[in-house]
């Protein structure tokens, strides 16, 4: 892109959450030379955050596998023959022990995930106990339970839930090629319920599922243009799962992933942008490029939900090498 085009992008794309983004504007960001894009994202990052601080959440799958939904990327869908074993909802004492261990290692937030289309009321009651007990440890709490019915978000709020994770996952125009058992509008409906209940919204997506750059821009526009941008925006790189329809997908150019992080940072300046699934397959240098592009949050702990995450020792060493502190 020519210098004049860079200036044009700068002038039409204010870094405020009040700005309504168009796909064309975001595509113009993606088309910037990588150095210009990262420089701009880093500037926005420094205006809004300590550039040397990264938030760490630890994940625990409290109910694994056997999910009714057909999300093409997921190891936990009952429709695909994957290595993931089905497990019942975990007992409360095991969840609390895992949260205590995560806190001792230095995680500030504990995120509990369940492979449900959405929680039944009696299952939700058990998750509410988990939220109360984890909160009592002095950790921030997050759950990701699928789609919520009326009244469930309020119960979670009353139990002390800080964040609800519910990803838009991909562009509305691409959604039906990846998931057929529910719609993008269903996801938006749950996000609205979470927001209305006064819970912080954690919502992002997955990159590398065969979507176009325009689809990636579309996803970011749909997130940034929500009535209020999510406080936390996880950007997952597809972890290919043998047995799922996306197992053999072509790998995305890593720089396209970095561009997506940078665009998210510019578009949602005050949100925590999380470098999420896929870190295990990234070099320390590529992760660092993502931090330079504005990612300031990560999953910390040896497991994600059903796949591996970098060992905490590797992450601790990387933080020390970079002079980054955990928050």
Where along the sequence are the contacts to ligand DTB (CB under 6 A)?
Answer: 59, 75, 113, 144, 165, 167, 204, 234, 236, 239, 276-277, 304-307
How would you class 35 by CB atoms within 10 Å of its CB: exposed for 0-12, middle for 13-18, buried for 19 or more? exposed
**Would you call 290 a catalytic residue per the annotation?**
no
**Could you tell me the sign of the dihedral formed by the alpha carbons of 284, 285, 291, 295, in that order?**
negative
Tokens describing residue 298: 């990560």
Which residues here bind ligand SAM, judged by CB under 6 A?
Answer: 73-74, 76, 113, 115-116, 144, 146, 166-167, 169, 206, 236, 238-239, 241, 277, 305
Could you give the 3-state DSSP secondary structure of residue 87?
coil
Residues from 217 through 236 that contact ligand SF4 (CB under 6 A)? none
Does 204 interact with ligand SF4 (rule: CB under 6 A)?
A: no
Does 277 interact with ligand SF4 (rule: CB under 6 A)?
A: no
Beta bridge partners of 308: 303
Q: Which of ligand SF4, ligand SAM, ligand DTB, none does 166 bind, CB closer than 5 to 8 A by kind?
A: ligand SAM
User: Closer CB to ligand SF4, residue 114 or residue 128?
Assistant: 114
Beta pairing, strands 205-207 & 272-275: unpaired
Could you give the 3-state DSSP secondary structure of residue 121?
helix
User: Closer CB to ligand DTB, residue 142 or residue 318?
Assistant: 142
User: Closer CB to ligand DTB, residue 52 or residue 281?
Assistant: 281
Report the distance separating Cα 318 and Cα 32, nearest Å.
29
**Do the Cβ atoms of 219 and 21 come closer than 8 Å?**
no
Residues from 66 through 85 that contact ligand SF4 (CB under 6 A)? 67, 69, 71, 74, 76-77
How would you class 250 by CB atoms within 10 Å of its CB: exposed for 0-12, middle for 13-18, buried for 19 or more? exposed
Site residues, ligand SF4 (CB under 6 A): 67, 69, 71, 74, 76-77, 115, 117, 146
Catalytic residues: 67, 71, 74, 111, 142, 202, 274
């Amino acid at each position: 892109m020519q210098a004049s085009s860079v200036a044009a992008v700068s002038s039409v794309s204010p870094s405020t959450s009040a700005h309504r983004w168009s796909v064309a504007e975001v595509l113009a960001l993606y088309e910037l030379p990588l150095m210009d894009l990262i420089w701009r994202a880093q500037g926005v990052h420094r205006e809004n955050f300590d550039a040397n601080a990264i938030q760490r959440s630890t994940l625990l799958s409290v109910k694994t596998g056997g999910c009714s939904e057909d999300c093409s990327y997921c190891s936990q869908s009952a429709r695909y023959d994957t290595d993931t074993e089905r497990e019942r909802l975990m007992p409360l004492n095991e969840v609390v022990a895992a949260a205590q261990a995560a806190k001792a290692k230095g995680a500030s937030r504990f995120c509990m995930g369940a492979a449900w289309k959405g929680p039944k009321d009696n299952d939700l009651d058990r998750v509410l106990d988990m939220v109360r007990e984890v909160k009592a440890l002095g950790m921030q709490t997050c759950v990701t339970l699928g789609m919520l019915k009326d009244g469930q978000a309020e119960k979670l709020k009353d139990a002390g839930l800080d964040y609800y994770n519910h990803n838009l996952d991909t562009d509305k125009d691409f959604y039906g090629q990846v998931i057929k058992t529910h719609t993008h509008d269903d996801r938006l409906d749950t996000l609205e319920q979470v927001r209305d209940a006064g819970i912080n919204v954690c919502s992002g997506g997955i990159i590398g599922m065969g979507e176009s750059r325009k689809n990636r821009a579309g996803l970011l526009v749909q997130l940034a243009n929500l009535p209020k941008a999510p406080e936390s925006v996880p950007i997952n790189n597809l972890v290919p799962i043998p047995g799922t329809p996306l197992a053999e997908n072509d790998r995305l150019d890593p720089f396209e992933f970095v561009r997506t992080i940078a665009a998210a940072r510019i578009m949602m300046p005050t949100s925590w942008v999380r470098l999420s699934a896929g870190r295990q397959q990234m070099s320390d240098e590529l992760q660092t490029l993502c931090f330079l592009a504005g990612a300031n949050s990560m999953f910390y702990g040896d497991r994600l939900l059903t796949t591996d995450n970098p060992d905490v020792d590797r992450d601790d060493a990387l933080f020390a090498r970079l002079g980054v502190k955990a928050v």
